[in-house]
Structure 1
Amino acid sequence: MDNLGIVFLSEVVGTAMLVLLGCGVVANVALARNKGLGGGFLMVNIGWGLAVFAGVIVAYNSGAHLNPAVTLGLVASGASEFGSGVPVNVLSILAYIAAELIGAILGAVLVWLAYKQHFDEEPEPASKLGVFSTGPAIRSYGWNLVTEIIGTFVLVFVVIAFGHNGDAGGLAALGALPVALLVIVIGTSLGGPTGYAINPARDLGPRIAHWFLPIKGKGSSDWAYAWVPVAGPIIGGVLAGWASLALLPVLA
């Protein structure tokens, strides 16, 4: 298998792990008759952060983007290589994004299998959809988009800064842990308005799975909102990449 094939598989597996554990904690909190039912938003924040930790650890060969916003943010920051020495070009960018989306769909399917009986017992379609994808607390597409842009900007800008710290033996030397803590703090600080997708694949992949899986009484997949957690993170990630070119050399 060539290097691009290796990083493709790494991204698929890492993103599947991320979504399995991240959507899994939402299922535990939201679906009927679970032991974690009612665990609250903080439990979800911690679960998603540690899901990122597990996904990053698994996807070490690819650089563990697990997120098209991170991939595109790195491109915007002027990166010349991805993981395993794969050069940045149109083919490698598309391969990363495709792998992230495929992994997210697979992870969501695994969540459904793990919680099949609880999906069957849950009477509320909104709770079922909420396991798979995000939705706004107050539906206002423009402001929801702004929230996703800001949250993803923070994610990608700080992730790129970790790389700069790594060059000096700083925070990046700790590996996946700083990214996990970053996701937790984004959730606790900025996650309330939209549920903080901050990752197009994390939202779109599970939403596609919700659409095609035979989930009892599932209702709508809310495609009217689906563009927000795709467009917002892409815009935020690219802006963060551009900002890193100007700001991080000054702040270093």
Structure 2
Amino acid sequence: MDYSLTVRLIAEFMGTAIMVALGNGSVANVDLKGTKGNGSDWMLIAVGYGAGVMIPAMIIGGISGNHINPAFTIGLAVAGMFPWAEVLPYILVQFAGAMFGQLWVVAAYKPHYDLTTNPQHILGTFSTISATKSQLNGFINEFIGSFILFFGALGITKAPFFSDNLGTAHMALGFLVATLVASFGGPTGPALNPARDLGPRILHALLPLRHKGDSDWGYAWVPVVAPTLAAITAILLYKTVFL
């Protein structure tokens, strides 16, 4: 079935919102003071983000393609697999969806934001942070993780193994993201997605939260540029070799 651009944009908005809400909601549950999950381990976040990608994929994958990531949209367009005329509308609704999903997290966890005095824990529920304060290491980590994500996502959805069952392929995407968070999450978070990082970071700067500190704008370019370059590289490589 062919869906109109308007319907596909609504799907991208909702899919990105759900992804950010479930993903950053798991971070909030672990890092904010007084929650039921406070102090839980990293695997809770890996599961939260894995499911945060899988569930929108199951809901909207057959409608909009489940980009929910500006880097993926741009990478597909560069490779000639998505129309350039739709790139900007897709990106705009992805950023809007990411911010809307983050507002859900803030609304649900507002009392715990008020109790939390560590500004890094607060920022971490919005966007990514380099654990060593290294932009170079952050860039390398984000590029590697994003390359695996986009190469894997294209491979999974285009693979003959899943050709008759894209629903199973979308489930596999969730496991891919959960594994990436578990394996490459230590240095930065990671973002793997410009909208997932920059949209909530803008909200962090705007919202009047107690003890929030600064928004680390000096690092903000890394989770935008690295995933985008990785997407272009990974998608072009996959298309050249396998398609």
TM-score, length-scaled by structure 1: 0.90
Task: Judge conservation of contact 2:28–2:109 (CA < 8 Å) in 1.
Answer: yes
| 1:191 maps to 2:185 | yes
Task: Structure 1: give runs of 5+ residues left out of the alignment.
Answer: 81-87
Q: Which residue of 1 aligns with 2:13?
A: 12
Whichever residue aligns with residue 71 of structure 2, its letter is A
Alignment counterpart, residue 128 of structure 2, candidates 127, 134, 154: 134
Q: CA shift at 1:7, angstroms? A: 1.0
Q: CA shift at 1:193, angstroms? A: 1.1
Q: Distance in 2 between matches of 1:54 and 1:142?
A: 32
Q: Distance in 2 between matches of 1:150 and 1:171?
A: 28
Q: Distance in 1 between matches of 2:164 and 2:190?
A: 27
Alignment counterpart, residue 155 of structure 2, candidates 154, 158, 161: 161
> Where does 1:65-80 land on structure 2 (aligned, <5 Å)?
65-80=67-82
Q: CA shift at 1:195, angstroms? A: 1.0
Q: Distance in 1 between matches of 2:166 and 2:51?
A: 17
Deviations 1:83-121 (A, max 9, x none): xxxxx12x3000111111000000011100000000001
Cα distance 1:170–1:58, how it changes in 2: closer, same or farther (>3 A)? closer
Over the matched positions of the two proteins, sequence identity in percent amounts to 38
Q: Which residue of 2 aligns with 1:49?
A: 50
Q: Which residue of 2 aligns with 1:85?
A: none
Q: Which residue of 2 aligns with 1:39?
A: 40
Task: Structure 2: give runs of 5+ residues left out of the alignment.
Answer: none
Task: Judge conservation of contact 1:73–1:237 (CA < 8 Å) in 2.
Answer: yes
Q: Distance in 2 between matches of 1:179 and 1:166?
A: 16
Q: State the Cα RMSD in Å.
A: 1.6
Q: Distance in 2 between matches of 1:163 and 1:175?
A: 6
Deviations 1:30-75 (A, max 9, x none): 0000000011111111110011112222323111111011112222
Task: Judge conservation of contact 2:156–2:169 (CA < 8 Å) in 1.
Answer: no
Q: CA shift at 1:171, angstroms? A: 6.9
Q: Distance in 1 between matches of 2:238 and 2:80?
A: 10
Task: Judge conservation of contact 1:152–1:237 (CA < 8 Å) in 2.
Answer: yes
Q: SS in structure 2 opposite 1:176?
A: helix
Cα distance 1:190–1:5, how it changes in 2: closer, same or farther (>3 A)? same
Cα distance 1:115–1:173, how it changes in 2: closer, same or farther (>3 A)? closer
